[in-house]
Structure 1
Amino acid sequence: MTAPEAGDAGPDDVSPGAAQQPPPPRRDPHPDAGPDPDEERTQEARAAQRELFAHTPDFILGDGTGFGGSLVGGSQHGVSGGQVDGDVYLGGRTEIHHHGPAATAQDASGEIPHKRLEALAEVFAEGPAFASALERLRDERVLVLCGAHATGRNAAAVMLLHRLGVSTVHALSPETPPATLSAQLTRPGGHVLRDLPLSRNRPLRDTHLFAARDQLRKADGYLVVTVENSPHLPGVTPCPWVPPGARDVVRALLARHRPDDVDALLALEPVTGFLAAPDRRPAEAAAFADSLATYDGGAQALARLADFGQAAVEKQCRDWLSDPATGLRDKAFLLSLAVFDQAPYVLAAELADKLFVHFQRLQHPEQPSEIPVFGPAPEDRLALARAEGELRDEQTEWGAVPQFMSRFRDERTPRVLLTEVWTGHPSARPALVEWLRQLARDGRPLVRTRAAAATALLAAADLPSTMALLVDGWARSRAFGPRVTAANTLTLALLLDLPVVLRLLTQWCSDSHPGRRWTAIRALGLLAPLRPDLAGPALGALAARARVDASSPAEYANLTESAALLLSGGPGRRRAEVLAEFVRLLYLDTPAVRDLALAAFVRACDNDEDGGLVGWYSETGMYEADAARDLATLWRTALNGHTHTRPALDALRVWVYVAGRRADTALALELLLPALVVTADDRKRLDHTLRTMRAEDGGPRPAPADRLLTVLHPVTAR
């Protein structure tokens, strides 16, 4: 079931989280200060968190797709390792890729031509991690190579197999499900599975690799799987890919195309400046080398080389905005594309025209605004923006649909362009503000999230103005959508080196306006996966609000869900620290805070997703003595709490259902159950719950319940 759309509130809708555990009635001390949360439809916090992660652009998260590379139809076009494969030209022209529907996994697999392997071997730069990865592959037969986009991990995977001396290298379809991986490994030689997509619902587990290794031994084969840096690798120890240096990549490619001029070309001023910059990715270096190989000694060629630097990006953005020859509609498109970078082109074009209307009204208020029905072709608009488009699948709530996606070739452009218009052209602010307010009211989650991401960038450039003109108004809105946008904005702003935002959120938790309180509470709950180091301070701020003991029922539900999210995300060590903080709140704080801690803990336990508390405890927590003790303490206290017993028992049933699907959860419950039995009443309560529970489909008692009864009554259980 999908989460409800975050639009304007409806009086009869109820948050799913609030429906599961009705909070005790509380009075709102400021009933007229803003929205009435009790009469408003809200969005369940976990759904809001998934929406935020799904639509936040790479220029915020910092792991962009890089120069010249994109996964298209199962192939890595652009640059991979030391090879230039396909067109990665970064000049002023449009690149549009059209691809047909994907084939089946079996049909999409095949042998990589030997000539292609030899061509790649001629220019491949190994990098510091290659030798150790090769040894590990030789010993283990299967290797998971992880790294960021455009770091050459796919070329490295192919070269690892080639240097191993296998006779052939077979490329497997990236759509191959991890559970059926071993069935694809029946042929001898090498196999490469590039850019395997992983998610909570589609992890790559150690059991999948065990089965693959057994099959590879039988077939005398080897396998390399490449993935992005991902948390969805339970039990797997991936091999981190460390890319080669930019100078090595550039030299290797120049040696192939212009072997007599390598040293002279590397001595050019734009080249030394480019190579001096830190963290150049192989794809970026290879694209630069491709342009450098065409250098003819002229001034224009030298200028093209200089365009690869940050200064060139900044200059280009200034020129776009200040050049009178660039029309208002073109400028509106550039700014819209910056907000909707790597999103459907039609979305950027549609909303660019809305921004164009605001610009017209600002510059010519005496004239009626109008938008030409027909305008430039997408190719021309993208050429102006130094952008490119490609047809690829976009994930929706109904499945994958093909969309023509557009993006700037230089991943730094969106951030530079938005910052430049906000700080360098303050006269444009009224139009931008009205446009972003319009986006915040849009019914599409992608649009609202991108509005929040853009506003977070503006806040990083000028926080006081952005708060006054946008964020504070959204937070105080009676409508739900703008307040979600405010919460997302402040959450994302913390990723942009704005530590003052945490202080602001802490203050807003106790603000007199319920809209500000709601916004701060929601934002604090979204922090855990993005900034796990702030989970402790966030929990402290939520606890401070709970001490006031004057929340409305909906605000209390918001507090509970946000606190629960702090337990449902982040790495294992951080999650154990938050768990310990929850235990501390049980003993060292007020009854209201104790009530919040238990309600949030039960809410977190009720989440059966892979990234939830049950998944973490099954994979990691039960092996850590302190974490296991703290979890047992919270379970035992919740089960014995007068207002929390029933929802805690419901959550325990969820864990039993998960145990029917996961062996590690079954073991975790068997180890946990004895710690929950201190008194005879504890035993009776658990015995009744396990004996009376039914399967998820209403059938007979599930098998894990029978096993737990045996643990509860070692001799008498039947």
Structure 2
Amino acid sequence: MTAAPQQGAATSPPSQPSPSIPPEPPRDGPAAEPEEQTQEARAAQRELVAHAPDFILGAASSFGGSLVGGAQHGVSGGSVGRDVIMGGKTEIHHHGTATGPSHFSGEIPRRELDDLAATYAESPAFEDALRRLRDERVLVVAGAHATGRRAAALMLLHRLGVAAVRVLQPETGPSVLAGQLTQPGGHVLSDMPLSRNKPLREAHVYAAREQLIGVDGYLVITVENSPHLLGVTPCRWETPCSESVLRAHLVALGRTPEDIEKLLALGPVQSFLDHGRQRPAETAGFAPQLAAYDGSEQALGRLADFGLATVEKQCRTWLSEPALTLRDKAFLISLAVFDQAPYVLAAELADQLFVHFQRLQHPDDPPQIPMFGPAMDDRLQLARATGEWRDEHTEWGRVPQYMACFAEGRTPKALLTEVWTGHPSARPALVSWLKQLARDGRPLVRTRAAAATALLAASDLASTMALLVDGWAVSRSFGPRVTAANTLTLAELCGAPVVVHLLSQWCTDAHWARRWTAIRAFALLAPLRPDLAGPALDALMARARADDSSEAERHNLIESTALLLSAGSRGEMLSELVRLLYMDTPAVRSLALAAFVRACDNTEEGGLVEWYYAESGVHSEDWSQDLATLWRTALGERAHTRQALDALRTWVYVAEQRPEAEHALHRLLPSLSRTATDHDRLSHLLQTLRPRDGGPRPEIADRLLTALRPASPHHDGPYAEPSPAYPRS
């Protein structure tokens, strides 16, 4: 674990609104205040990709994340939630009168110790702990829950060679500890109850040591990481290496060293060992499954499935564990939403969720958040999470942040799904919290709220739409609507059903805000799912044919359609736009031209400019002909001429910096100069080209003028002849 993080989380500020897009007038219900300026679609796309979690946009986007069978949900192996105890377990119950002794001890059967010794793998701290126990006779082992502390205590005493090991009752407090050590041999006190009013003091340890010297005994006490050890130096316990634990169990199950090496090399086994901080009990539960592997695909699938089953069981245990505080559960849920984000952000927003939980559970009491709580290291250890310093990209540059993430990458999906489907009584608090996050001024927070809601939609679409998404989608404010669009985009990537059908319906919905949400969602979705570019274009054109859009909706349609040119087969998209020019309504024709010009005025990496220059001379002449047709038509139509000239000027500026781009323009310009009007328009553009930095006229303008061929004496129309349609395959 690295050093503690800074106290503030630097996240990207909200993207600036586009000043060219007017607000949507209220079209449903009573008049309302004008809403804030909306965000340009390409900026929204950048924000979504920058802040969406890796488990949705990354390589491990399938829920299962396994190497076999994709998303697998069956449980083919079990696991236990506490320390490893191999062999039979004997529980000793003593019954006495109320006036009898309040604490007892019982001897652990020798066979149980021998069975545990046969499968035990020592951690790096074991030898040092053994030395201290031999010298000091009393050893306090402190560590997180389910890290094998009890098994370690038993094995420490077993390695000492004591004649017997006795278990003290967990209720044995520090003040009565020495009085219970009346037998020779070893003693174990698991999970000693400590608190601020009942700490373990140095005097208690000295008294126990004196008693043990007198009877020739030893004592190991296990505790959670606790601040209530006063003057006592505990042995900080480390979980044994999962591979070592697995090897030890495979040996005990009769597998040979050669077999063990082959089994450990299997893909699902490596995935199980690499995915996170496996508890010894979980690794012990995996060993029989691995030992039974027979080389079949079914057995390989069961091995891959075991890891997910372990993750899901851990999430169920976290949420249903009565001993885990409500604040701890709120932190686990918040970390699932803000996995691989700044730790302080997850901690800050976890307390807000804690407030919602308190209001739900105790509606008559004002919610209270303790000002100081568990240490960061303890919280991450509870969550089986790790932290490290990494640079976060912001609009101001790189900012170092202490990022926290679950060691097991499948935990966020499993935990959020379990909260939503397994604990419906928590839904009101979770819904209120997600709505609060959607109103946050930080893009990272808003995007993660959408990502979490998308996961909920994948598991229960109807409830998620009713409780969250539809309310955002019909909001008069821009922020909730873009959260709804982000949610539906990510929900489709998560495998939620009927999302594309829903968006297609919303594109022609009677409510303008639903239409806006669907149009924006298609723009965000198509570049991430290129196979949906065709259906997205069909849905957007269906809305354009209505020809009753407001100015704000028209801007949204233009920007969204422009983004489709960066998705799928761009050659097919260009041919489809050409077909729309000559085989559809005037409203669709105008939208196709406006979207094409908007896409051409994009100089970002992956934009149409980059694509054209990179692919120039590689594709067939079909896409070059379609591109030239769209350029000539846009330049020749009065409604689009000015924007088209601005876009072409952008191309020239790019070509000034890139020789290959200039070569591509030399090839393009002759096809744009088929009439005297074309020639005059392009000549004027190049002759009046102004430099960007106020310097002399760019030399490239004169070089490109030579590429303009004389106008044809046989044709002087406003634009070139219609090109044949190229249907989308």
Contact 2:473 2:517 survives alignment (8 Å): yes
Letter in 1 for 2:18: S
Cα distance in 2 for residues equivalent to 1:564 and 1:33: 31
Contact 1:35 1:478 survives alignment (8 Å): no
Letter in 2 for 1:333: F
Contact 1:51 1:445 survives alignment (8 Å): yes
Change beyond 3 A, Cα 1:252–1:437: closer
Cα distance in 1 for residues equivalent to 2:470 and 2:257: 53
Cα distance in 2 for residues equivalent to 1:504 and 1:668: 42
Aligned with 1:311 (options 309, 313, 316)? 309
Cα distance in 2 for residues equivalent to 1:644 and 1:289: 56
Q: Does residue 680 of structure 2 align to residue 684 of structure 1? A: yes
SS of 1:697's partner is coil
Structure 2: runs of 5 or more not aligned: 1-10, 63-80, 84-241, 292-302, 712-729
Change beyond 3 A, Cα 1:303–1:425: farther
Cα distance in 2 for residues equivalent to 1:542 and 1:297: 52
Cα distance in 1 for residues equivalent to 2:608 and 2:275: 46
Aligned with 2:18 (options 15, 20, 23)? 15
Identity %: 64
Larger Cα-atom Rg: 2
Q: Does residue 645 of structure 2 align to residue 642 of structure 1? A: no
Change beyond 3 A, Cα 1:291–1:504: closer
Of residues 458-467 and 523-532 in structure 1, the stretch that sits farther from structure 2 once superposed is 523-532
Calculate the aligned-residue CA RMSD, in Å: 3.9
Q: Does residue 394 of structure 2 align to residue 385 of structure 1? A: no
Change beyond 3 A, Cα 1:548–1:385: same
Contact 1:674 1:712 survives alignment (8 Å): yes
Contact 2:17 2:40 survives alignment (8 Å): no
Residue correspondence of structure 1 range 608-627 to structure 2 within 5 A: 608-624=603-619, 625-627=621-623
Aligned with 2:510 (options 502, 509, 512)? 512
Partner of 1:652: 648
Contact 2:574 2:627 survives alignment (8 Å): yes
Cα distance in 2 for residues equivalent to 1:390 and 1:436: 27
CA drift of 1:273 comes to: 10
Aligned with 2:501 (options 503, 517, 523)? 503
SS of 1:63's partner is coil
Change beyond 3 A, Cα 1:4–1:597: farther
Partner of 1:343: 341
Partner of 1:138: none
Cα distance in 2 for residues equivalent to 1:253 and 1:577: 56
Cα distance in 2 for residues equivalent to 1:427 and 1:543: 43
Cα distance in 2 for residues equivalent to 1:304 and 1:386: 24
Structure 1: runs of 5 or more not aligned: 7-12, 67-90, 94-249
SS of 2:496's partner is coil
Letter in 2 for 1:484: V
Residue correspondence of structure 1 range 184-195 to structure 2 within 5 A: none
Partner of 1:575: 570
Change beyond 3 A, Cα 1:370–1:37: closer
Aligned with 2:407 (options 406, 409, 431)? 409
Contact 2:13 2:443 survives alignment (8 Å): no
Aligned with 1:663 (options 650, 659, 662)? 659
Of residues 574-583 and 325-334 in structure 1, the stretch that sits farther from structure 2 once superposed is 574-583
SS of 1:668's partner is helix
Change beyond 3 A, Cα 1:3–1:672: farther
Change beyond 3 A, Cα 1:448–1:291: closer
Of residues 497-506 and 407-416 in structure 1, the stretch that sits farther from structure 2 once superposed is 497-506
CA drift of 1:552 comes to: 1.1
Partner of 1:146: none
Deviations 1:590-612 (A, max 9, x none): 00000000000000001111211
Contact 1:361 1:369 survives alignment (8 Å): yes
Cα distance in 2 for residues equivalent to 1:498 and 1:584: 33
Change beyond 3 A, Cα 1:384–1:271: farther
Partner of 1:461: 459
Aligned with 2:37 (options 35, 41, 47)? 41
Residue correspondence of structure 1 range 318-717 to structure 2 within 5 A: 318-567=316-565, 569-570=566-567, 574-624=569-619, 625-713=621-709
Cα distance in 2 for residues equivalent to 1:435 and 1:339: 11
Change beyond 3 A, Cα 1:18–1:4: farther
Partner of 1:31: 27
Letter in 2 for 1:705: A
Deviations 1:232-290 (A, max 9, x none): xxxxxxxxxxxxxxxxxx999999xx99999536868x99699474xx7x6x4664899
Partner of 1:5: 14
Deviations 1:503-534 (A, max 9, x none): 11111111111111111111111123210111
CA drift of 1:63 comes to: 2.0
Cα distance in 1 for residues equivalent to 2:353 and 2:35: 33
Residue correspondence of structure 1 range 155-170 to structure 2 within 5 A: none
Deviations 1:654-696 (A, max 9, x none): 0000001122211111111111111111101100111001111
SS of 1:644's partner is helix
Change beyond 3 A, Cα 1:531–1:409: same
Partner of 1:101: none
Change beyond 3 A, Cα 1:587–1:713: closer
Cα distance in 2 for residues equivalent to 1:38 and 1:591: 30
Partner of 1:264: 256
Deviations 1:147-177 (A, max 9, x none): xxxxxxxxxxxxxxxxxxxxxxxxxxxxxxx
Letter in 2 for 1:472: D
Contact 2:475 2:481 survives alignment (8 Å): yes
Deviations 1:43-78 (A, max 9, x none): 111111000000010111242599xxxxxxxxxxxx
Deviations 1:6-40 (A, max 9, x none): 6xxxxxx9624548xx9xxxx97x72348979753
Change beyond 3 A, Cα 1:411–1:266: farther
Cα distance in 2 for residues equivalent to 1:666 and 1:632: 16
CA drift of 1:498 comes to: 3.0
CA drift of 1:435 comes to: 0.3
Deviations 1:584-637 (A, max 9, x none): 111111000000000000000011112110000111154212211111111011
